[in-house]
Amino acid sequence: MKVLVYLVFMVGLLAKTEGMTRTIEELKEAAEKWTRDIPCLKRDCSCAFRSKSCCCANPDLQNLRDDVRDTFKDISGRISVLSHEIHEVLEPVNVAFTAFLGRNDKCLGPFERNVSIRYDDIRLNEGSGYNSMLGLFTAPVSGVYSFSLSVYSRLQRAGQHMFHKVQLMRNGRAQAAVWEDNTEDMEDSSSQRVLLSLVQGDQVYAELVHDRQLCGNIRGLNSFSGYLIYPLPATSL
């Protein structure tokens, strides 16, 4: 409601023309007295869980969020490649990282779309290839890399549905996955390790699949790590 009050007030400030019949103070007073809900003009709203308070602009906001995320991923990749092109001239290439989900006893998800997991507790980031803000690793040099993904989830009570799936992605395509779908376990953990031949600038990350969730992350049991085994010339990949 405060947003609406200030929005109307700002409209009054911008619309101060000779033909105005209302003063700025009248607009402000009218906005402060407004008690009804803001009308929803979109009737095709399909937000998470279709809750009463669901914003009808949610799909538009989701699209905007995805566009911003993709833009930052592209910028992050370009900066990382440029940085390592400079370092290659000055020193040998060493690339390795390990990151965990920070301590959080709540649940991650569910979401309407697949969401990149931001492992924010960084224990190692040799070569600065991993970006914790995006949960994204950008290959600074072409080569063969090893990646590891560990997934853990714990439910609050017996009989709940454990339903999660985490995918290891390379440039938007799934390379490996770990998942669980049952009502018998209260906690479960699994891991996956893969070797990937990457071209300089390729991006690798983990994502939580839509409509699924991870709960009860403790002691850093959810992790994402990788390292360069050996570099390769770009023409050999």
Full-model pTM? 0.61
Task: Tell me the backbone φ, ψ of residue 187, rounded to 5 degrees.
Answer: -150, 155
Mean pLDDT of the chain, nearest integer? 76
Q: Nearest-CA neighbor of 178 among 216, 152, 197, 205?
A: 152
User: What is the helix (H) or strand (E) element at residue 228, kind and residue range?
Assistant: strand 223-231
Average pLDDT over every residue of 109-130: 92
Tokens coding 179: 């998942």
pLDDT band at 142 (very low <50, low <70, confident <90, very high): very high
pLDDT band at 39 (very low <50, low <70, confident <90, very high): low
- Taking the C-alpha atoms of residue 109 and residue 151, their distance in angstroms, rounded to an integer, is 14
- Taking the C-alpha atoms of residue 22 and residue 28, their distance in angstroms, rounded to an integer, is 10
**Contact of 106 with 215, CB cutoff 8 Å:** yes
pLDDT band at 83 (very low <50, low <70, confident <90, very high): low
Which parts of 161-212 are beta strand (E)?
162-170, 173-182, 187-198, 203-208
CA-CA-CA-CA torsion sign (12, 16, 19, 22): positive
Query: Please, what are the domains in the chain?
Result: 2-39 (no CATH), 61-236 (2.60.120.40)
DSSP, residue by residue, 73-136 = HHHHHHHHHHHHHHHHHHS----EEEEEPPSEEEEE---SS-EE----EEEEEETS-EETTTTE
| 184 has a pLDDT exceeding 50 | yes
Does residue 41 come out as left (phi exceeding 0), alpha (psi in the -120 to 50 range) or beta?
A: alpha
| 219 has a pLDDT exceeding 80 | no
The DSSP call for residue 55 is -
Cis omega (within 30 of 0) for bond into 110? yes
Give the per-residue pLDDT at 108: 86
